[in-house]
Amino acid sequence: MGLFIMNMLSDTKGRKFSFLLSWGIANVGIMFLILGAYTKVIPLMAFAQIVIGFGGYSTMIIGYTIISDMCKDSMRQKAILSMNGVWALA
């Protein structure tokens, strides 16, 4: 559902706006996660994981699109593979 909404925003407002919005949503979720871990409130941490899921995975999908648009045809596959490698190591 969240990915569908980000896809619609990407079509209407542009990729940069939707990328920054999903990045901001993920950062808000990270702040909730830190607050929940500090105060040891489990429901807050569960809510934070949901918010991070909406923001983080949307950022990854929009990032694939932005990278494939910016790279030349010969370098596109290597760029996407390197992004997958960075995502796996992080």
* Residue 19 one-letter amino acid: F
Answer yes or no: are the C-beta atoms of 68 and 76 closer than 8 Å. yes
| 0.75 exceeded by pTM | no
Give the residue-averaged pLDDT of 69-76. 84
CA angle in degrees (0–180, nearest 5) for 68-1-87: 40
- Binned at pLDDT 50, 70 and 90, residue 6 comes out as low
Q: For 11-50, what is each residue's pLDDT tens digit?
A: 778 778 888 888 898 999 999 999 999 999 999 999 999 9
In the block, which residue shows the tokens 């494939």? 68
Q: Would you list the domain boundaries of the chain?
A: 2-89
% of the chain beyond a pLDDT of 70: 91
